[in-house]
Structure 1
């Protein structure tokens, strides 16, 4: 088994109320300009193409949101321009449309600001406010901060806005801003002090910029000590998710290094972290038992003790029972393949077949089902059961026909055919 396939989860935003969505002007660019002049508004132009997936995503998932419609309808005449239409060629050239989607804010024929690529609703509205001068751009905010470096509000806003700003940069610009932003968080933390950071904005900053735990970790310990306060402000689930993610990642990191200090860290689950973990369940297992089994399994896996790895995982999955999720199986398969670089024993291949069979009982995308069936074929092939391998590959080929991305479907089917030829 040389490859482990990954599940991509796409989060699709809910559509807004049609009556509150962005109103799109029906007419030419010149007519839209005249309409904007009459209503004393600015012009928003969405340059798109019918084949452009991100353009469709903006139109269906962002333009339709009530909050977007409310703001844009009040401040702009909104127009969509198909760049593939011959009559729009000069307009696309005038506004330098070289990537799609390109969205331009215009006042009296002059560009105020542009957006390239997909933006989330909140970020999209923010871009519009920057175009109108209602908010500062990231560059302007940073220039203001340089003149007033003790201003916590400016530092806070820069840290909150940085991820979205950085996502739009490439090359030298990205490197330049990355080095500037890198020093902001420790300075902010040092000057403002943790005791003054029990609020929603600063929790967001901590969760964005403090993403790894160390043995002596004052930030992690502070949030744990003030768990109930943070939970009241931003919600228990969000605070628990942040702390559990950090703690579990640190435990697994220690396990992979063969550091038995992970056992000391596990002890905190029933002590100061008990309330943090109280919202999750593991079938018939206690939280501590479940996390201990997973941790021990990982420790033995990276010690190349296959028997103890499977022993702990079997206990975990048995305790989970019907509550075992798809990811419980796929993550175990991934860990196994990575630890052994895809070169498993026949016992491991046989065990993997059992896990794949269980995983296939769950709901999943055609892509993942296809890839799990391919993995099953590889496992059967590795234990010299060519007939079962052939069945798995053939089933994978049939399921792959349900994949909507036809290019991806074709590539996968070609790989399956190569696997069948190799039997």
Structure 2
């Protein structure tokens, strides 16, 4: 795909930790503000302001004539705002099932060449947020990327496609699917012209995506903590001064949240070094509580209960600055557990 020079703009895309496309679990969900923000970002259309009565009338029209793509389009565009006003759970679930099936039929039956318009491109991006292998709608956007960029804001298209592909690669790696490497190879193949538009603050986007995916696969697919540690050590070394609190924090928390109480002593030792580095940056009180608490868990993994207790006490004192009783109780419970074990 040859890109026009007018599309050669810069987007600073923090792919390694910060960018992920929101997944709403199984099926399509519109509750909460994230999905609404996505619609606003794509460019809200007049149909989104439809009333409850309008949506019900549109659905009746659709049931009478399932060949009217204009009615289907209005329903799909109007659903996010409409669902945000629904308070009855069963009613919400009913509409979610409706629009999920409606989009599938809309995509299946409407000629794809007729979908190269702002409304339908918004619908495709809106209803394809959970990464899936070989997704036909996403491949349609990729194959028609330059045309799509002439219809909707180029930044929107680039951010969506890059974030979707990044999420897909990470999802495959976390599920232990070695095919994540095939998706990465596309960055040098049919996706090259798209990802050439993505610029990062540090290393190449291909390296950043590969480094994260390889680390996730080592941790989740191979269940090898020390390989994960080595890959992260190499990544942080290459990042150098570009590595900040998020890189160090996430390197540790990704590991700890995955392995839980099975954290190996060697991995805990390295994690302590990274947590100490993360704490050298200016962080919020909440982040400091999380980091110091994580240090406590690392000390427990290496059987240093005295240091663990010291960390949890510090985390508890910090948590008193926050209006979060659940957090305070969680830390206090850890302290009680250590005390009950006779430490």
TM-score by length of 1: 0.62
Check whether the contact 2:59–2:75 (CA below 8 A) recurs between aligned residues: yes
Tell me which of 177, 189, 194 is aligned to 1:271.
189
Work out which of the residue numbers 356, 371, 377 in structure 1 matches 2:275: 356
Counterpart check, 1:220 vs 2:150: no
How big is each residue's C-alpha offset from its partner over 1:307-361, in whole Å with a ceiling of 9 and x where there is no partner?
Answer: 3211211121222223234443343334323442431100111122122223334
- The 3-state SS of whatever aligns with 2:199 is coil
Higher relative contact order (CA 8 A, sep 6+): 2
C-alpha distance in 1 between matches for 2:244 and 2:70: 43
2:6 maps to none
Within the alignment, does 1:421 sit opposite 2:343 as a pair? Answer: no
Match of 2:129 in 1: 211
Matches within 5 A, 1:248-267: 248-267=166-185
- The structure-2 alpha-carbon separation of the partners of 1:151 and 1:363, relative to structure 1 and needing over 3 Å to count, comes to farther
CA change 1:335–1:194 in 2 (3 A) is farther
| Structure 1 contact 374–416 (Cα < 8 Å) conserved | no
- Report how many residues are paired: 301
Aligned match for 1:147, one of 50, 55, 64: 64
Correspondence 1:10-25 to 2 at 5 A: none
Question: Which deviations, in whole Å up to 9, do the C-alpha atoms of 1:277-328 show, x marking residues without a partner?
Answer: 3323262x32222222222212221212223211211121222223234443
Contact 1:401 1:409 in 2 (8 A): no
| 8 Å Cα contact 1:301/1:336 also seen in 2 | yes
Q: For the Cα contact (< 8 Å) 2:252–2:271, is it kept in 1?
A: yes
Q: Structure 1: where are the runs of 5+ without partners? A: 1-6, 8-116
Give a deviation string over 1:67-119, Cα, whole Å, max 9, x none: xxxxxxxxxxxxxxxxxxxxxxxxxxxxxxxxxxxxxxxxxxxxxxxxxx999
CA contact (8 A) 1:252 1:295 kept: yes
Larger radius of gyration: 1
How big is the shift at 1:413?
Answer: 5.4
Equivalent position SS for 1:368: helix
Structure 2 residue 259 is matched with structure 1 residue 340: yes
* Residue 159 (structure 1) shift: 1.0
User: Which consecutive unaligned segments of at least 5 residues does structure 2 have?
Assistant: 1-17, 19-31
The answer to which structure has the higher strand fraction is 1
1:161 aligned residue (78, 82, 85): 78
- Which stretch shifts more, 289-298 or 191-200? 191-200
Q: d(CA) in 2 for partners of 1:139 and 1:218?
A: 30
Looking at structure 1, the residues matched to 176 and 50 of structure 2 have their Cα atoms a distance apart, in angstroms, of: 52
Alignment-derived partner of residue 157 in structure 2: 239
Contact 2:198-2:205 at 8 Å conserved across structures: no
2:113 counterpart residue number: 195
Q: In the alignment, does 2:248 pair up with 1:329? A: yes
Relative to 1, partners in 2 of residues 1:166 and 1:334: Cα closer, same or farther, differing over 3 Å?
farther
Taking a change above 3 Å as real, the CA distance of residues 149 and 169 of structure 1, as seen in their structure-2 partners, is: farther
* RMSD over aligned Cα atoms: 3.3
Q: Say which of 329, 332, 340 aligns to 1:411.
A: 329
Q: Tell me which residue corresponds to 1:281.
A: 200
Larger fraction in helix: 2
SS of 1:196's equivalent?
helix
**Distance (Å, rounded) in 1 between the aligned partners of 2:33 and 2:179:** 44
- CA distance in 2 between partners of 1:157 and 1:332 (Å): 44
Distance across 2 between alignment mates of 1:256 and 1:127: 36
- 1:353-387 residue CA offsets vs partner (Å, 9 max, x unmatched): 12222333445443232122111112113213334
Give the 3 Å change call, closer, same or farther, for CA 204–364 of structure 1 in structure 2: farther
